[in-house]
Amino acid sequence: MNAALSEPATVRLSLDEVYALTRDTLLAAGLGEPHAAAIARSITRAQADECHSHGLYRLLGYVASVRSGKAEREALPVLTRTTPVILNVDARHAFAPLAIETGVPALIEAAKTYGIAALAIHDCYHFSALWADIEPAVEAGLAAWCFTVGQCCVAPAGGTTPLMGTNPIAFGWPGPEGRPFIFDFATSAAARGEVELKRRAGEALPAGWAVGPDGTPTTDPAAALAGALLPFGGHKGSALALMVELIAGPLIGDLNSRQAKAVENGDSGPPLGGELFIAIDPAAFGRETLGQRMSDAEETFALAKAQPGVRLPSERRYAARARSAGGVLIPARLLQEIRALTTTGAEPGRNGGG
Amino acid sequence: MNAALSEPATVRLSLDEVYALTRDTLLAAGLGEPHAAAIARSITRAQADECHSHGLYRLLGYVASVRSGKAEREALPVLTRTTPVILNVDARHAFAPLAIETGVPALIEAAKTYGIAALAIHDCYHFSALWADIEPAVEAGLAAWCFTVGQCCVAPAGGTTPLMGTNPIAFGWPGPEGRPFIFDFATSAAARGEVELKRRAGEALPAGWAVGPDGTPTTDPAAALAGALLPFGGHKGSALALMVELIAGPLIGDLNSRQAKAVENGDSGPPLGGELFIAIDPAAFGRETLGQRMSDAEETFALAKAQPGVRLPSERRYAARARSAGGVLIPARLLQEIRALTTTGAEPGRNGGG
């Protein structure tokens, strides 16, 4: 066996090690401790659920945006209330996780008190998974949504020019035993990262994902990235993508995807923008009937799962979460890249600083 | 030219005539005047927008449910507030339009005062178009959603057995000059009515709409109606259909699609259930920036429409509405059927009454 073959393809880390590696790497890059800790919590949760795109892989982009000076390093989020049920967190051009941790407990309290509430996160660099953003509210017993504007690369159905972001939607319904039903998907046919992975792997795209720069349908990932992705589900998915472009942009007073692209510095980190949360307390529609209503919902889930071929959105993540108590497998190459960040890029403010 | 060929295929009615025909037919069937007038307003608006499925055609089903005794004839809706932002209208087993007219002004007021509010319509027979249900709130300057559970005939993605309704979603964004952006679509690949129309026309369904009773994909409308429709957009559309099943059902304390089917008398009228509205006031996120934010949204719409092949959801309806000032064309056969209702079925309570 030669040296190359004996190198491990993956390395097992405990969740504590994932957390410490993330936090320490961000601190070494010059990020303030409250932000480094919040991002470490976010990345550790995604990695535990084997949501690899939002796990340790994201650390590369976070560090890039610390170094490029895009994200504020020390600015702490500020929570204000316009009304008892309209909450705003000004993230002050810093990363989103600390702002979300600041706003979501207030959202939960407002929704539990008044039945419905909305929370807008403003001027943040958002790089986390929406399912994780709403999970605390859903675990607290609320039905909740969140929406954010993604990278501008999606044409409306029938069109050929990027107008909208990948614009994900997440919804959660409180479930028994801390296992709520949560879905989270891009309103584009595929996330931009999926297309990039196909390009690196030299694979063709499924039909219907994209058009090339000439506006004709393409299965070539490079042509798709130079052209436009398409919404999922034809004109219906396109309408939903446009809805997110509106409600996570001008509704709350944050950038739409074209505006975010215009101010983007191309450092491979997250774009600037906002995020809208809405939460409703099922108890507001009758506390005495709540148990029966939750049981009715569970019956629907059980009947879905009883059909061969049907899987509920969160099931794969919960299975991964159970496995991850014993540690998670990280690609050795990714770990090398992350460790190289600390040895080569520890100087805060290398590219100008925040 | 023989007599059959000289019969007109369509008859032009003024909108006032559509309103009067609807109201008078319902009164003759025994429905109370407030309900007859509210339904006449609802049907006239749909007919004016050439939304034929929810126009005069719906009158047949409404009358059937008056005659069968399913819908209460005189019961007036009752509005209550659980909190300042959670509104409930008990429709008391009557038709939805009067309950919606009772609740939506209160929803508008609550959303304008507090920034966000929810309205649940309970125990109603819902037969109207969701775009029309939210239009008054959107015309009042609010972003608004509504959701209701449709007829139970949709299998989850990957499955083969009906578990969910056609579960439509509507969303509206306030637009200039009383022409808001509103979409309204079933979360099934097609509405059940579209499949029935294909069956009558002897046409095959597009691939991906349905599975037959044996669980295999079918393009045969009869097999689809005996089997299950599929959600639009694969697992993403399926997740949205399930979301509507939850939030227009157990969240607000109304029936899910299976429960509604179990109590349905098969009279061809609407099913029993609830409807959830959510409204947000864009002004709640900053009154001084509102004009600029509305302009940003208009720019997005303009850029969408500038792409050849792209049409915004409401455009076709607004074009129809402008045309309809001069009257609407109604199939002569439909008019005959409606007029026959009054001459043959004027006895209130023929089948037991409400």
Strand residues in chain B grouped as ranges (E): 10-13, 78-83, 86-95, 116-125, 143-148, 169-173, 181-185, 210-211, 217-218, 228-229, 272-280, 328-331
Q: Are A180 and A174 in contact (CB under 8 A)?
A: yes
Sign of CA dihedral A159, A165, A168, A169: negative
Q: Is A230 part of the contact surface with chain B (CB cutoff 8 Å)?
A: no
Q: Is A260 part of the contact surface with chain B (CB cutoff 8 Å)?
A: no
- On whether both B40 and B157 belong to a single domain, the answer is no
For residues B110 and B102, give the distance between their C-alpha atoms in angstroms, rounded to a whole number: 13
| Residue of B239, B251, B285 lying closest to A280 (CB–CB) | B251
For residues B58 and B53, give the distance between their C-alpha atoms in angstroms, rounded to a whole number: 7
Structure confidence at residue B77 (pLDDT)? 98
For residues B4 and A281, give the distance between their C-alpha atoms in angstroms, rounded to a whole number: 60
Which of A232, A155, A144 lies closest to A191, judged by CA?
Answer: A232
Say whether A313 and B239 touch across the interface (CB within 8 A). Answer: yes
| Residue of B83, B158, B171 lying closest to A114 (CB–CB) | B83
- SS3 string, A175-196, reads CHHHCCEEEEECCECCCHHHHH
DSSP state of A43: H
Q: Which of residues 12-71 of B touch A (CB under 8 A)?
A: none
Q: Which residue's entry shows tokens 């109606």?
A: B225
For residues B259 and A86, give the distance between their C-alpha atoms in angstroms, rounded to a whole number: 35
Quick one: closest CA in A to B259, which residue?
A296
Average pLDDT over residues A284-290: 97
- On whether both B56 and B125 belong to a single domain, the answer is no
Q: Is B175 part of the contact surface with chain A (CB cutoff 8 Å)?
A: no
- On whether both A147 and A215 belong to a single domain, the answer is yes
For residues B7 and B24, give the distance between their C-alpha atoms in angstroms, rounded to a whole number: 25
Q: What is the pTM of this model?
A: 0.95
DSSP state of B14: -
Q: Which residue's entry shows tokens 């090690």?
A: A17
- On whether both A335 and A280 belong to a single domain, the answer is no
Residue B45 pLDDT exceeds 80 = yes
Is A301 inside any structural domain? no
Average pLDDT over residues A200-210: 94
Dihedral through CA B301, CA B147, CA A252, CA A354, nearest 10? Answer: -100
Residue A345 pLDDT exceeds 60 = no
Q: Are A166 and A248 in contact (CB under 8 A)?
A: no
Say whether A115 and B118 touch across the interface (CB within 8 A). Answer: yes
Q: Are B47 and B58 in contact (CB under 8 A)?
A: no
B249 chain-A contacts, CB cut-off 8 A:
296-297
Share of chain A above pLDDT 90, in %: 90
- List all residues 6 or more positions away from A29 whose beta carbon is below 8 Å from its beta carbon: A63, A66, A67, A341, A342, A345, A346, A348
- Which runs of consecutive H residues, i.e. helices, occur in chain B? 3-6, 15-29, 33-48, 57-67, 96-114, 130-139, 192-201, 221-226, 234-247, 257-262, 290-305, 315-323, 332-344
- On whether both A101 and A205 belong to a single domain, the answer is yes
Average pLDDT over residues A293-304: 96
Residue B350 pLDDT exceeds 50 = no
pLDDT band at residue A7 using 50, 70 and 90 as cut-offs = low
The alpha carbon of residue A322 is apart from the nearest alpha carbon of chain B, in Å, by 23
Q: Is A233 part of the contact surface with chain B (CB cutoff 8 Å)?
A: yes
Residue A116 pLDDT exceeds 60 = yes
E strand or H helix at A275, and its extent?
Answer: strand A272-280
- Name residue B188's beta-bridge partners: B231
Average pLDDT over residues B275-282: 98
Give the Cβ contact number of residue B260 at 10 Å: 22
Coil, helix or strand for B185? strand
Structure confidence at residue A12 (pLDDT)? 97
DSSP state of A92: E
- On whether both B248 and B332 belong to a single domain, the answer is no
- Count helices and strands in chain B by DSSP H and E runs: 13, 12
For residues B67 and B73, give the distance between their C-alpha atoms in angstroms, rounded to a whole number: 10
Give the tokens for residue A173.
């319904």
A185 chain-B contacts, CB cut-off 8 A:
236, 239
pLDDT band at residue A275 using 50, 70 and 90 as cut-offs = very high
Q: Catalytic residue among B14, B33, B53, B295, which?
A: B53
E strand or H helix at A11, and its extent?
Answer: strand A10-13
User: Strands across the sheet with B210-211, in order?
Assistant: B217-218, B210-211, B228-229
For residues B252 and A286, give the distance between their C-alpha atoms in angstroms, rounded to a whole number: 8
For residues B115 and B290, give the distance between their C-alpha atoms in angstroms, rounded to a whole number: 13
- Rounded to whole angstroms, what are the CA distances from B85 to B73, B96, B250? 30, 21, 19
| Residue of B156, B249, B310 lying closest to A156 (CB–CB) | B310
Give the Cβ contact number of residue A66 at 10 Å: 34
E strand or H helix at A82, and its extent?
Answer: strand A78-83
Say whether B284 and A163 touch across the interface (CB within 8 A). Answer: no
Q: Specify the CATH number for the domain of residue B138.
A: 3.30.1370.60
Q: Catalytic residue among B54, B126, B245, B275, which?
A: B54
- Number of domains composing chain B: 2
Structure confidence at residue A6 (pLDDT)? 63
Give the Cβ contact number of residue B314 at 10 Å: 22
Sign of CA dihedral B127, B133, B135, B136: positive
For residues A187 and A165, give the distance between their C-alpha atoms in angstroms, rounded to a whole number: 9
B168 chain-A contacts, CB cut-off 8 A:
none
Is B215 inside any structural domain? yes
Q: What is the mean pLDDT of chain A?
A: 94
- On whether both B63 and B167 belong to a single domain, the answer is no
Of A77-91, A319-333, B201-215, B335-349, where does mean pLDDT reach its minimum? Answer: B335-349
Give the up-direction half-sphere exposure of residue B347: CA atoms within 13 A in the CB hemisphere.
5
The alpha carbon of residue B251 is apart from the nearest alpha carbon of chain A, in Å, by 5
pLDDT tens string B210-267: 999 999 999 999 999 999 999 999 999 999 999 999 999 999 999 999 999 999 999 9
Residue A246 pLDDT exceeds 90 = yes
B259 chain-A contacts, CB cut-off 8 A:
296
Structure confidence at residue A196 (pLDDT)? 87
Say whether B284 and A155 touch across the interface (CB within 8 A). Answer: no
Q: Which of residues 272-291 of A touch B (CB under 8 A)?
A: 278, 280, 282, 284-286, 289
Q: Specify the CATH number for the domain of residue B11.
A: 1.10.1530.10
Say whether A159 and B234 touch across the interface (CB within 8 A). Answer: no
- On whether both A11 and A146 belong to a single domain, the answer is no
- Which residues of A are catalytic, by number? 53-54, 194
For residues B283 and B112, give the distance between their C-alpha atoms in angstroms, rounded to a whole number: 8
ipTM of model: 0.95
Average pLDDT over residues A45-73: 96
Residue A212 pLDDT exceeds 50 = yes
DSSP state of B216: S
Which of A5, A46, A44 lies closest to A21, judged by CA?
Answer: A44
Dihedral through CA A285, CA A287, CA A291, CA A292, nearest 10? Answer: -50
- List all residues 6 or more positions away from A8 whose beta carbon is below 8 Å from its beta carbon: A332
For residues A71 and A127, give the distance between their C-alpha atoms in angstroms, rounded to a whole number: 12
Is B33 inside any structural domain? yes
| Residue of A88, A116, A233 lying closest to B86 (CB–CB) | A116
Say whether A243 and B116 touch across the interface (CB within 8 A). Answer: no
- Name residue A171's beta-bridge partners: A145, A183
pLDDT tens string B121-180: 999 999 999 999 999 999 999 999 999 999 999 999 999 999 999 999 999 999 887 789
pLDDT band at residue A344 using 50, 70 and 90 as cut-offs = low
Q: Domain containing B82: what range?
A: 78-288
- On whether both A38 and A131 belong to a single domain, the answer is no
Q: What is the mean pLDDT of chain B?
A: 93
Mutate to test the interface with A, among B184, B300, B303 (most CBs of A within 10 A): B300
The alpha carbon of residue B242 is apart from the nearest alpha carbon of chain A, in Å, by 9
- On whether both A37 and A145 belong to a single domain, the answer is no
Dihedral through CA A82, CA A83, CA A84, CA A89, nearest 10? Answer: -20
Average pLDDT over residues A51-57: 92
- On whether both B251 and B129 belong to a single domain, the answer is yes
Is B313 inside any structural domain? no
- List all residues 6 or more positions away from A104 whose beta carbon is below 8 Å from its beta carbon: A119, A133, A134, A136, A137, A277
Structure confidence at residue A219 (pLDDT)? 97
Average pLDDT over residues B19-41: 98
For residues B126 and B192, give the distance between their C-alpha atoms in angstroms, rounded to a whole number: 15
Is B348 inside any structural domain? no
Is A316 inside any structural domain? no
pLDDT tens string B53-95: 899 999 999 999 999 999 999 999 999 999 999 999 999 999 9
DSSP state of B154: B
Q: Is B80 part of the contact surface with chain A (CB cutoff 8 Å)?
A: no
E strand or H helix at B195, and its extent?
Answer: helix B192-201
Is B306 inside any structural domain? no
Residue type, B95: F
Structure confidence at residue B4 (pLDDT)? 53
Is B143 inside any structural domain? yes
Q: Catalytic residue among B72, B101, B194, B245, which?
A: B194
E strand or H helix at A88, and its extent?
Answer: strand A86-95
- On whether both B37 and B167 belong to a single domain, the answer is no
The alpha carbon of residue A323 is apart from the nearest alpha carbon of chain B, in Å, by 25
Sign of CA dihedral A36, A38, A41, A43: negative
Chain pair A-B, CB pairs under 8 angstroms:
204
